[in-house]
Amino acid sequence: MTTESTTLPPRLRILVLDDEPIVCKRLKPIFQKSGYEVETFNSSAKALERLKDHAFDIVVTDLKMEGADGMQVLDKALESSPRTRVIIITGFATLETAKESFRKGAFDFVAKPFKLGDIIDCVRRIETELRAAPTDQG
């Protein structure tokens, strides 16, 4: 039996979805380096497919995309796993879309372009919150 002090908490799993590959390309290594497991998607259909059979701790999603948009991804992600925290990233930030994302349960709303440091901070805040919260998975 291992004790608390020697067991490391499992790495958080992050799904990144943006139809512009550059965003995934930039975010993947920075999240990996910070100690997270990352999967990236350029199409919301594929990401939704993945969300069906796999729970992620954090979903970072673009808002405007072909097919299902970020709001739908937000809904689906929370539907299949209420513990999941969703960060919306968008280049079309308006007060309305920000309000709507929060109303639908987004953890944060980040306007593009954003600093790598800011998104890492955001993820760290989620990590602290998730680690503090009791989990039903034990």
Contact 81, 50 (CB under 8 A): no
**Which tokens go with 6?**
């020697």
**127 scored as a contact of another protein (CB under 8 A):** no
One of 43, 91, 98, 105 touching another protein (CB under 8 A): 91
Q: Which of 78, 98, 120, 130 touches another protein by CB under 8 A?
A: 120
Backbone torsions φ then ψ of 100, nearest 5 degrees: -60, -40
Q: Does 9 bind another protein (CB under 8 A)?
A: no
Residue 17 burial class via C-beta count within 10 angstroms: exposed 0-12, middle 13-18, buried 19 and up:
buried
Interface with another protein (CB under 8 A), residue from 25, 46, 54, 125: 25
Q: Which range in 28-36, 51-59, 73-81, 101-109 contacts another protein by CB under 8 A? A: 28-36
